[in-house]
Amino acid sequence: MNVFVKPKTILITGATSGIGYEAVLQLLRLKNRLLITCRNQSRVESLINSLLNDRFDLSDINSLVSFPIVDLSNLDSINKFVEELLKKECTLDTLVLNAGLQYTGAQTVRRSVQKIELTFAVNHLSHHYLAQKLLPLLLKSKSPRIVITSSEVHNPKSPGGKIGKKASLGKLEGLKNSPTFLMIDGNTFFSADKAYKDTKLCNILLGKELSRRLSLKNIHMPVICWAPGLVIPRSKEGFFRYSRKYNEIGQILFSFFARDLFKITESPKKAGYILMSISTSDKYNEKRFRYISNKIERPGKMVLEDESISEEANDECKAKQLWDLSNKTIDRFLTRKLF
Domains present along the chain, CATH in parentheses: 9-229+267-331 (3.40.50.720)
Residue range 118-132: mean pLDDT, rounded: 98
The Cβ of residue 71 has, within 10 Å, a number of other Cβ atoms equal to: 20
Beta carbons of 95 and 85 less than 8 angstroms apart: no
Name the residue type at position 194: K
Nearest to 229 by CA among 307, 143, 140: 307
Whether pLDDT at 116 is above 60: yes
The answer to whether the pTM exceeds 0.85 is yes
Residue 83: the pLDDT is 96
How far apart CA 120 and CA 166 sit, in angstroms, is 16
Supply the DSSP symbol for 314. Answer: T
Whether pLDDT at 61 is above 90: yes
The Cβ of residue 189 has, within 10 Å, a number of other Cβ atoms equal to: 8
The Cβ of residue 284 has, within 10 Å, a number of other Cβ atoms equal to: 17
Residue range 262-289: mean pLDDT, rounded: 89
Residue 254: the pLDDT is 52
Residue 235: the pLDDT is 59
Per-residue confidence at 203, pLDDT binned at 50, 70, 90? very high
Q: DSSP secondary structure string, 120-131?
A: HIIIIIHHHHHH
Whether pLDDT at 137 is above 80: yes
- Residues marked as catalytic: 196, 200
Nearest to 191 by CA among 240, 261, 120: 120
Whether pLDDT at 245 is above 70: no
